[in-house]
Amino acid sequence: MQTVIALGFFDGVHLGHGDLLRRTAELARERGWRAFALTFDRSPGKDGRLLTTVNDRVRLMQALYGIRNVAVLPFTEEFMGQSWDVFLEKLVRDYEAARLVCGWDYRFGHLGQGTPALLDAWCKSRGLGCDIIPARGIDGVTVSSTRIKALVEAGDVETAALFYGHPHTLSGIVQPGKHLGHTLGFPTANLVPPPELVLPKDGVYAVRATVAPAHEVSGQAMPVPAAGREDAHAFHGVCNVGTNPTVDGKRRTVETWLSGFAGELYGRTLIVDFYCRLRDERRFESLEALQEEIFRNQAQAEAYFHQHPIR
């Protein structure tokens, strides 16, 4: 079956990406073709920092824009040395591409020599369709992954969400921690994100956490992750990003306290969506003082979600 392919890296799957993915899905639906998106297993950027892991990129593309088929290509030295036209020929051969969609600033091929203008001319010479999606702006500011990274690192997750079109999100398998939840009397979930992932500024946030069975990512066409299934459950919560100086003070983690969850969390997939920064991370004189503050933060989070219900 012929395909419409969205070209890009899609880090963060922000509103600009959304325009591109939405157009891809519309074209495929109108023609009875498959909608496809390409991404890579690691960042093509120089600093290598990411807003989203592969899992989260795929999950967001599927859940928000209905792109069921996502190809994750290995960003190898061989791939980086490939000329832009060879890359396009492989898309036609391997994915039956009949129409290609990219953003206004898309670069591809060796040393980024491929441009939207070259892509458009190449497609026309072969009788293929091509759509170049213009930049998306908010109050005169272009939506970009670079802009969102700066907002997330500053802890401004509410403004970041305006550029994303969704909350800042991360997921992972819950890891054993200091068993702080058992000590303080409520369940906690400890995630250790990969070092290349951009995390919100150290502090405490109001979050929505989705608990689901662990899932694996395999192959090029990925299924909807477990958090999209009926056996997934979402809870309001409070999340601490940082080193937890009251207890540890060494390793930077993402530790979430879930309100209303009962059961075992270790080994399960947790998706954490960040909605509002509540306070800076700080050291408390005792676990009792920390417990009291967490309960206060939970009340703040519940008040936030009452005023800003999730639709």
Whose CA is closest to 241, among 229, 227, 255, 260? Answer: 255
pLDDT exceeds 60 at position 219? no
pLDDT exceeds 50 at position 172? yes
The tens digit of pLDDT for each residue in 97-119 reads 999 999 999 999 998 999 999 99
Q: What is the mean pLDDT of residues 140-166?
A: 97
Query: In whole angstroms, what is the distance from residue 167 CA to residue 160 CA?
Result: 8
pTM: 0.89
For residue 54, the number of C-alpha atoms closer than 13 Å in the C-beta half-sphere is 20
CA distances, 118 to each of 84, 110, 152 (Å): 9, 14, 34
Cβ within 8 Å of residue 128, ≥6 positions away: 92, 97, 98, 99, 100
pLDDT exceeds 60 at position 215? no
pLDDT exceeds 60 at position 166? yes
Taking each helix axis as running N to C, give the angle between helix 54-65 and helix 15-31, from 0 to 180 degrees, rounded to the nearest 10.
60
Whose CA is closest to 217, among 62, 78, 49? Answer: 62
What is the pLDDT at residue 225?
A: 41
Level-2 CATH architecture, domain 3-138: 3-Layer(aba) Sandwich (3.40)
pLDDT exceeds 60 at position 230? no
Query: In whole angstroms, what is the distance from residue 7 CA to residue 60 CA?
Result: 16
Output the CATH code of domain 167-307.
2.40.30.30
Q: How does residue 83 score in pLDDT terms, banded at 50, 70 and 90?
A: very high
pLDDT exceeds 60 at position 223? no
Q: Choose between 45 and 152: higher pLDDT.
A: 152
Whose CA is closest to 132, among 119, 143, 145, 141? Answer: 119
Query: In whole angstroms, what is the distance from residue 301 CA to residue 304 CA?
Result: 5
Do the strands 3-6 and 34-40 form a parallel or antiparallel pair, or are they unpaired? Answer: parallel
- Residue ranges per domain, the chain? 3-138, 167-307
Query: In whole angstroms, what is the distance from residue 139 CA to residue 149 CA?
Result: 18
Q: How does residue 226 score in pLDDT terms, banded at 50, 70 and 90?
A: very low
pLDDT exceeds 60 at position 39? yes
